[in-house]
Structure 1
Amino acid sequence: MTTTQDPARDPLLDAILAHVAFDGWSDAAFRAAAEDSGMPLAEARAICPRGAVDLAVAFHKRGDAQLADALRREKLDDMRFRDKVARAVRLRLDIAGDKEAVRRGSALFALPHHGPEGARLIWGTADAIWNALGDPADDINWYTKRATLSGVYASTVLYWLGDDSVDHQATDAFIDRRIEDVMRIEKVKAQVNDNRLLKPLLGPLQKLGAMVKPPMRVPPSDLPGRWTPPDAK
């Protein structure tokens, strides 16, 4: 089993899923999860200060981690890049599995005070997909790729939740359409970049975009307030 970022949350996460369908990602479900896992409620709240919200976040991040593992095992070398992205989105939905847990989570993160966190989770999924597929972008394209895929994935999840077709064939077709839309945009961008009349205007913008860099995965070790143990050097 792939664990969450905090393995101490795993027993609670496994236990709450049986209650989410009835109570949502609520305090009632959280209390039931603590009881089912044999964990004192005070300890559970120490591990998850926001209760079920923290477990909903852990549920999503666990799925992203499982997706990264699954993509490493997939044979994607002979596939077109667009097909690789579509395959990754399908795999992520398969990993989510429990539609009711996803539905309740979508409702939770649609609330105004949880909306920013929901957006970060969707971005995290897009980031996980691009990283697993070996995205080489190191300029503004790093951001535009993830923003575009975030929109594709978010809309696909909503479609998937209402899809009752056999083996989710309607969702597969929906993914293909969304990827096709993205490819049309990329084709237009390429045509604009190749346009001799527009090149003088786009040159400064392209140089500016090249100066935009992705966030660092590991912060510099010499930042103020950061300490590295001597034996870790």
Structure 2
Amino acid sequence: MVDGAPDYADMTLDELRLALAPEVAASAIFDGWTEAALVTAAEMAGANPDVAKLAYPGGAMDMIEAWIDNIDLAMVAAFPPDRIATMKIRERIRSLVAFRLEAVTGLEEALRRATAIMAMPQNARRAVKTGWRSADHMWRLAGDTATDYNHYTKRAILGSIYAATLSVFVEDQSEGKQDTYAFLDRRIDGVMRFEKAKAKWLNPQRETFSVTRFLGRLRYPSR
């Protein structure tokens, strides 16, 4: 083993699954998410190809999910509480999504192929779970503690923003992915405006129109 290089031989299959994932993604640029890409990645990294195959028994989706999990873990490590605490909520979300985009920069073809595989009907349910998990990681890092319906709506909205941004990212030829980041900023601004409007609408202290009171009057009109 080269000094500083991972010792794949001493890893469990779960550890190998995550450690080798970035190498597999790099190989997927040329060979797709295939066994050939996995073997090439293992050989280039100095891991045993036969053992590496055991780490991804589900084939392409196992490799793709491991890559996403690897990015999730790297994101968590890059944003400790003391760093995130200095940011406003909008900056937190933007920084977390930007980190993920930077993590796949240069791997657009691997991402494009991964997206196509995840969109297959047989993989849709697993793809949704994987995307939800990433959105959950981002919101938890951002400090979200909601347990009501907001817990679910926030993750669904962020997941849709992230997915849409990735679709722009893979086709973006602008310098420094400027178009992608502009798209991301517009999406986040739209959500922020919606959240502010929703907060005013749901504020029980406000003395304006009340949906509950209005519906009550429809059911029990004054005489």
TM-score, with length taken from structure 2: 0.78
Whether 2:210 is the aligned partner of 1:197: answer yes
- Following TM superposition, by how much is the alpha carbon of 1:52 offset from its aligned partner in structure 2, in angstroms? 3.2
- The percentage of aligned residue pairs carrying the same residue is 36
Q: CA deviation at 1:139?
A: 1.4
- 1:114 equivalent in alignment to 2:123: yes
Q: 1:193, 1:199 within 8 Å by CA — same for their partners in 2? A: no
In the other structure, the counterpart of 2:189 is: 180
Cα distance 1:4–1:117, how it changes in 2: closer, same or farther (>3 A)?
Answer: farther
Per-residue CA deviations over 1:191-211 (Å, capped at 9, x if unaligned) read 3324442144799xxxxxxxx
Q: 1:138 Cα shift?
A: 1.6
- Mark the CA change 1:150 to 1:4 in structure 2 (over 3 Å): closer, same or farther: farther
Alpha-carbon spacing, 1:78–1:48, altered in 2? closer, same or farther (3 Å): closer
Amino acid at match of 2:55: I
Task: Report the equivalent of 2:220.
Answer: none
Aligned to 1:80: 88
Asked if 1:65 corresponds to 2:76, the answer is no
RMSD in angstroms over aligned alpha carbons?
A: 2.9
Structure of higher CA gyration radius? 2
Q: Deviations over 1:134-191 (max 9, x none)?
A: 1121211111110110011000011111112222221111111001111232233223
- Corresponding residue for residue 21 of structure 1: 29
Count of residues in Structure 1 that have an aligned counterpart in Structure 2: 202
Deviations 1:17-68 (A, max 9, x none): 3421112102332343455544253x33432211232121100110011111
Distance change (3 Å), C-alpha of 1:166 and 1:147? same
Task: State the partner residue of 1:94.
Answer: 102
Partner of 1:151: 160
Unaligned 5+ runs, structure 1 = 204-233
Aligned to 1:169: 178
Instruction: List alignment gaps of at least 5 residues for structure 2.
Output: 217-223
Partner of 2:138: 129
Q: 1:197 corresponds to which letter in structure 2?
A: S
Instruction: Specify whether residues 164 and 129 from structure 1 end up closer, same or farther in structure 2 by C-alpha distance, changes over 3 A only.
Output: same
Give the letter for the 2:95 counterpart.
R
TM-score, length-normalised on structure 1? Answer: 0.75
2:59 matched to 1:46?
no
2:151 is aligned, of 142, 146, 165, to 142
The aligned amino acid for 1:180 is D
Confirm or deny: 8 A CA contact 1:110 1:118 kept in the other structure: yes
Q: Secondary structure at the match of 1:137?
A: coil
